[in-house]
């Protein structure tokens, strides 16, 4: 069985590590490109949200490389993600692709099916091997999160444009090759050290921008037009609270072990959004509130076009912006997105934010003009 899975940012590194430690022949789908998007859009309904289209494209591209089993997550609503698998199964059949879709549903929607899926993925691995594979995957999850956060915080201070991203690429390649948790930790330290070497002190105060929204769009640089990189190059220190570790903690660990308290975003969002609305709607609002209170200067809110939870968040965010005094810009993403449009909006937003930062910090520390990317 040659197994594959959808892309989501750097998710492929830990997932690949996990599946290969269990003895699977893993096929990583080719990186998401325009071709992926157009293939995906051809096989999915036009009213569906972007993650469905992109993951569909990933599956077909991986099947072209010879994958015959696809690992996908399920769900129990109300977000459309939970029903992706049904549409994808039909779309794969219609596209003449024989790959089998293995859907990992949450255990509470059916223990028997969950056990079946676990048995398929487990193959002949012993419990010890599974634990070892999970430990390695968990270490790699932590590692890619740590690198992402370090890069987001450092990019605005880099001495040579692109040097931080070069360090990142090297670091991620090393982490991909690591076979033990210690090696992973070593590579992370080394890469963080390299990143520190790329930065220089800047004379002006940092413009700190938060990125919130639907998790797939926030974490997949190929579909969000590399928004973190773009903001970093403009000169913003980027804060991105949605990470793999955060997702696993709040959706998997807390789901199984109910006694572990969930990160309480709902209490932050309560004045504006009082109820869970599926997806990451509450997270978008809650994190924006928390960011305003912790002194960030602006928030960029990303959502796939027609995403139901994010439409609720988008409706509420202007209210958050006024009440908490933080500028918020909502951007909807679909397969037709042009990066120039994105650039213009981000530049304008960043210029407004840096003008505000200058006013707050007194005009003496303000540079003559704001940095503009070319």
Partner 1 sequence: MSLVVGVPRALLFHEYGPLMLELLRQCGARAVLSPVTNKQILQAGLEVCVDEACLPVKVFFGHVAYLAEHVDALFVPRFVSVERGAYICPKLMGLPDMVRARAPGVPRLVDPCIDMSRGLGKMARSMVELGPALGVSSSRLAIALARSLKAASATAKTRLGGEQTAVTYGGVRIGVLGHEYNLNDPYISLDLVGKIRRLGATPVTAGSYSHQETVRWERQRIRRGAKRLFWTYGRRLLGAAYRWLDTGEVDGIVHLASFGCGPESFISEIIQYEAGEQNSLPLLCVNIDEHSAEAGLSTRLEAFIDTVAMRKCEYANHLPTPGQPVDTR
User: How does strand 2-4 pair with strand 69-73?
Assistant: parallel
Choose between 62 and 79: whose C-beta lies nearer to partner 1.
Answer: 79
**Residue 238: CB minimum distance to partner 1, A:** 25
Is residue 312 near partner 1 by the rule CB under 8 A?
yes
For residue 55, give the nearest of 78, 87, 98 by alpha carbon: 87
Is residue 56 near partner 1 by the rule CB under 8 A?
no
Map the footprint of partner 1 across residues 215-274, applying CB under 8 A: 272-274
Candidates 167, 316, 328, 357; binder of partner 1 (CB under 8 A) is 316
Candidates 63, 242, 277, 333; binder of partner 1 (CB under 8 A) is 277
Is residue 358 near partner 1 by the rule CB under 8 A?
no
Candidates 20, 120, 306, 337; binder of partner 1 (CB under 8 A) is 306
What span, in angstroms and rounded, lies between the C-alpha atoms of 210 and 264? 18
What are the residues facing 304 on neighbouring strands? 333
**Residue 203: CB minimum distance to partner 1, A:** 39
User: How does strand 207-213 pair with strand 298-304?
Assistant: parallel
- State whether residue 302 is helix, strand or coil: strand
What span, in angstroms and rounded, lies between the C-alpha atoms of 304 and 53? 11
Instruction: Tell me how crowded residue 135 is: count the other CB atoms within 10 A of its CB.
Output: 15
Candidates 51, 171, 298, 309; binder of partner 1 (CB under 8 A) is 309
**Residue 105: CB minimum distance to partner 1, A:** 8
| Long-range CB contact pairs, 119-123, < 8 A, 24+ | 121/19, 121/22, 121/24, 121/71, 122/22, 123/22, 123/23, 123/24
Q: Which stretch binds partner 1 (CB under 8 A): 40-48, 137-145, 212-220, 245-253?
A: 40-48
Per DSSP, the chain holds a count of helices (H) and strands (E) of 16, 8
Q: Which stretch binds partner 1 (CB under 8 A): 168-176, 226-234, 277-285, 290-298?
A: 277-285
- State whether residue 333 is helix, strand or coil: strand
Choose between 205 and 271: whose C-beta lies nearer to partner 1.
Answer: 271
Candidates 23, 45, 341, 361; binder of partner 1 (CB under 8 A) is 45
List, in order, residues 6 or more apart from 71 with CB less than 8 Å away: 3, 4, 5, 15, 19, 102, 104, 121
**Residue 311: CB minimum distance to partner 1, A:** 5
Q: Which residues in this chain contact partner 1 in the complex, by CB under 8 A?
A: 44-45, 47-49, 74, 76-80, 82-83, 85-87, 90, 94, 103, 272-279, 281, 305-309, 311-312, 314-316, 318-319, 332
């Amino acid at each position: 069985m040659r197994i594959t899975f959808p892309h989501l940012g750097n998710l492929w590194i830990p997932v690949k590590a996990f599946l290969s430690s269990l003895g699977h022949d893993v096929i990583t789908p080719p990186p998401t490109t325009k071709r992926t998007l157009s293939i995906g859009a051809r096989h999915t309904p036009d009213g569906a949200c972007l993650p469905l289209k992109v993951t569909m494209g990933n599956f077909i591209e991986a099947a072209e490389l010879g994958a015959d089993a696809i690992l996908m997550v399920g769900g129990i609503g109300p977000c459309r993600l939970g029903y992706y698998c049904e549409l994808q199964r039909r779309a794969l059949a219609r596209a003449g692709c024989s790959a089998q879709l293995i859907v990992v549903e949450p255990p509470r929607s059916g223990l028997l099916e969950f056990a079946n899926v676990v048995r398929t993925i487990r193959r002949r691995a012993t419990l010890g091997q599974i634990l070892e594979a999970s430990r390695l995957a968990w270490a790699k999850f932590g590692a890619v999160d740590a690198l992402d956060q370090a890069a987001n915080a450092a990019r605005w201070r880099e001495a040579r444009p692109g040097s931080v991203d070069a360090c990142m690429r090297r670091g991620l390649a090393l982490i991909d090759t690591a076979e033990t948790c210690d090696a992973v930790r070593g590579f992370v330290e080394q890469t963080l050290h390299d990143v520190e070497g790329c930065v220089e002190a800047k004379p002006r105060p940092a413009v700190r921008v938060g990125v919130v929204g639907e998790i797939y769009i926030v974490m997949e640089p190929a579909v969000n037009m590399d928004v973190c990189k773009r903001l970093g190059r403009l000169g913003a220190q980027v804060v991105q609270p949605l990470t793999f570790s955060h997702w696993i903690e709040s959706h998997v660990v807390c789901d199984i072990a109910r006694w572990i308290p969930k990160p309480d975003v709902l209490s932050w969002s309560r004045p504006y959004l009082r109820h869970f609305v599926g997806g990451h709607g509450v997270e978008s609002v809650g994190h924006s509130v928390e960011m305003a209170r912790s002194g960030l200067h602006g928030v960029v809110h990303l959502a796939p076009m027609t995403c139901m939870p994010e439409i609720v968040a988008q409706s509420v965010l202007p209210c958050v912006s006024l009440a908490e005094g933080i500028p918020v810009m909502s951007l909807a993403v679909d397969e037709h997105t042009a990066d120039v449009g994105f650039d213009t909006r981000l530049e304008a937003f960043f210029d407004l934010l840096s003008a505000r930062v200058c006013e707050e910090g007194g005009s003496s520390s303000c540079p003559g003009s704001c940095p503009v990317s070319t």
